[in-house]
Structure 1
Amino acid sequence: MRFRQRRRVFIVCGIAALSSLIACVPYSPAPSSGASDISTVPAIVDVDKTASPLPEAEPGLEPETGTWQTEWGPLTETDRKLITGVRLASLWEMPMAQDAVQRASNPKVREISKEIAQQHHTLDKQVRDVAAKLKVKLPVTPTDEQQDWMSDISGRSGSAYDATYVKWLRLAHGKVFALIGTVRGSTQNTLVRRFSEQANAAVLNHQRLLESTGLTTPESFPTPSN
């Protein structure tokens, strides 16, 4: 009888001891099938796919003709001429403005050139976005005429550099200004119309900045037509 009681006590004590050991072991659940580990490292944000290089026109490539149908309305040759024209303007005016920030002798020219360069950076992003949506190929180099202007400016120094820089940039802005007005008043493409308004605001501001230098002498204006 006593033996049975002792045996029962041993069994109860053994079970209690085993339960205590199990309770003290840390719980580590096995991951469920297919579950990914949790990380405290911030997730990497996807880059903007529109920032990738766009299809660009080969130098000397003939412009595409005709009118295209797009989800924003018909896209005419004149519409595309504005898009490529604004792109061409940035291709030479932006680097020349950056150059003038360093080389101009007139403090006012250096000041306005910094603003022009920054605005062309924004304008070039806008034109690339529009071109991507409308599948318009963009030029990759300035025209021969624009490269001649760049060479004329770069080949000068001092006050001659300042005056030549202001002259050619102002003349170029005047040329694209006329095209902007034509497209703004005629395009049936809502995306192009909105872009023409953005371009108009930028070009008008650049004209005012260039004229604020006081270097827009009669030599800076084109010869009046008869």
Structure 2
Amino acid sequence: MRLHRNRRALVTCAIAMLCPLTACAGYAPAPSPAAAGPVPATFETEPAGFETEPAGSPSPDPAEESDIGTRPTKWGPLSEADRDLIRKVRLASLWEMPIAQDAVQRAATARVREVSKEISAQHHTLDRQVRDLATKLEVKLPVKPTEQQQRWMTDISGRSGNAYDTTYVKWLRLAHGQIFGLIGAVRGSTQNTLVRRFSEQANTAVLNHQRLLESTGLTTPASFPTPPA
């Protein structure tokens, strides 16, 4: 009887030891990433109908996009003519300030040197005003004179003596006469209070410069723009 009980206990223990092995017999460990080989890269695709810009294409300039037509500001509508005046006054200062400073040193007559000193000083003030205005109204300003203005500067600086004085007076008086009409047109039409005030400041300065240049006695028919038809 005792032997029979011992034999049953041994069989029970053997079965208990075999159970875990049997449970694990169907288990195969997952391969490690290295053993499984490289994982293919995944890419995000653009949604249907979506077009991307070509590589290297320039981004649109916000200043250029807002430079067409009339746009609102807290000082009133800002028209293309308003912006044109602001830029042209800036262009005038870009070439007239340095050439007037040059004439202070190089002009043959005392009157031209005196006139040039006053014109240069007033353009410094006018340029400060136009840059302040452009900042408030978000108008992009030019940074160098036009090709025509550069030709005028070259023509003046390439001369000496009386020829320097007469050429200097001719081109400056012509340029002031050209912008004078634009100032009046903008003053009469603008609905922007800042531009209206600035056009009056520009009108005062340009009118004074014309009088100063004419006071030299060196103006000729070539010093004046062609009158409107």
Structure-2-length-normalised TM-score: 0.70
Q: What is the match of residue 105 of structure 1?
A: 108
AA aligned opposite 1:128: R
Q: What is the match of residue 24 of structure 1?
A: none
Taking a change above 3 Å as real, the CA distance of residues 62 and 177 of structure 1, as seen in their structure-2 partners, is farther
Report the alpha carbon displacement of residue 205 of structure 1 after superposing the two structures with TM.
Answer: 0.2
- 1:138 aligned residue (126, 138, 141): 141
* 1:146-189 C-alpha deviation (Å, 9 max, x unpaired): 00111110111100000000000000001110100010000000
AA aligned opposite 1:210: L
Taking a change above 3 Å as real, the CA distance of residues 222 and 175 of structure 1, as seen in their structure-2 partners, is closer
Larger CA Rg, structure 1 vs 2: 2
User: Which stretch shifts more, 190-199 or 62-71?
Assistant: 62-71
Cα distance in 2 for residues equivalent to 1:109 and 1:127: 26
CA RMSD of aligned residues (A): 1.8
Cα distance in 2 for residues equivalent to 1:222 and 1:133: 32
Cα distance in 1 for residues equivalent to 2:115 and 2:213: 7
* 1:18-64 C-alpha deviation (Å, 9 max, x unpaired): xxxxxxxxxxxxxxxxxxxxxxxxxxxxxxxxxxxxxxxx9xx8992
Taking a change above 3 Å as real, the CA distance of residues 102 and 192 of structure 1, as seen in their structure-2 partners, is same
Structure-1-length-normalised TM-score: 0.71
Cα distance in 2 for residues equivalent to 1:181 and 1:118: 23
Q: What is the match of residue 177 of structure 1?
A: 180
1:123 is the counterpart of 2:126: yes
1:86 is the counterpart of 2:89: yes
Cα distance in 1 for residues equivalent to 2:129 and 2:137: 12
Cα distance in 2 for residues equivalent to 1:225 and 1:125: 31
Report the alpha carbon displacement of residue 66 of structure 1 after superposing the two structures with TM.
Answer: 1.6
The gaps in structure 2 that reach 5 residues or longer are 1-60
SS of structure 2 residue aligned to 1:105: coil
Cα distance in 2 for residues equivalent to 1:221 and 1:162: 16
Q: What is the match of residue 210 of structure 2?
A: 207
- 1:158 aligned residue (141, 154, 161): 161
AA aligned opposite 1:73: G
Taking a change above 3 Å as real, the CA distance of residues 79 and 104 of structure 1, as seen in their structure-2 partners, is same
Taking a change above 3 Å as real, the CA distance of residues 216 and 195 of structure 1, as seen in their structure-2 partners, is same
Taking a change above 3 Å as real, the CA distance of residues 62 and 104 of structure 1, as seen in their structure-2 partners, is farther
Q: What is the match of residue 27 of structure 2?
A: none
Cα distance in 2 for residues equivalent to 1:192 and 1:146: 24
Report the alpha carbon displacement of residue 222 of structure 1 after superposing the two structures with TM.
Answer: 3.5
Q: What is the match of residue 188 of structure 1?
A: 191
AA aligned opposite 1:131: A
Aligned length: 167
Contact 2:169 2:218 survives alignment (8 Å): yes
Runs of 4+, deviation exceeding 6 Å: none
Report the alpha carbon displacement of residue 68 of structure 1 after superposing the two structures with TM.
Answer: 1.2
SS of structure 2 residue aligned to 1:150: helix
AA aligned opposite 2:161: G
AA aligned opposite 1:146: Q
SS of structure 2 residue aligned to 1:70: coil
Cα distance in 2 for residues equivalent to 1:128 and 1:222: 27
Contact 2:177 2:224 survives alignment (8 Å): no
Report the alpha carbon displacement of residue 131 of structure 1 after superposing the two structures with TM.
Answer: 0.3
Report the alpha carbon displacement of residue 219 of structure 1 after superposing the two structures with TM.
Answer: 3.1
Report the alpha carbon displacement of residue 223 of structure 1 after superposing the two structures with TM.
Answer: 4.8
